[in-house]
Amino acid sequence: MPSKIIWDRLRNSTRYVSEALGIEEWQLRNAIHRLKRRWGLEPTDRVIIYDDGKVTDASGDELGNVHDET
């Protein structure tokens, strides 16, 4: 079954995403920041998060997984 996008806009609620992934909001924020830094993205660069924790950039290139960063 393909992954479903749960966050694809800059202003979506981190509470919803963290609950969907079973982690705390601070863990989600830290994971996103780590992935962005690792790939040389700016804090304002858009990322997409899927229900399995996968994170891609706006072009669809995979950056990693939130669960691997928590």
CB neighbours (10 Å) of residue 64? 17
The span from the CA of 47 to the CA of 49, in Å, is 7
Amino acid code (one letter) for 61: D
Chain position carrying tokens 């660069």: 45
pLDDT at 1: 66
The ranges of the chain with pLDDT < 70 are 1, 10-11
Is the four-CA dihedral 65, 24, 11, 35 of positive or negative sign? negative
pLDDT at 11: 64
Stated pTM of the model: 0.88
pLDDT at 10: 61
pLDDT at 70: 85
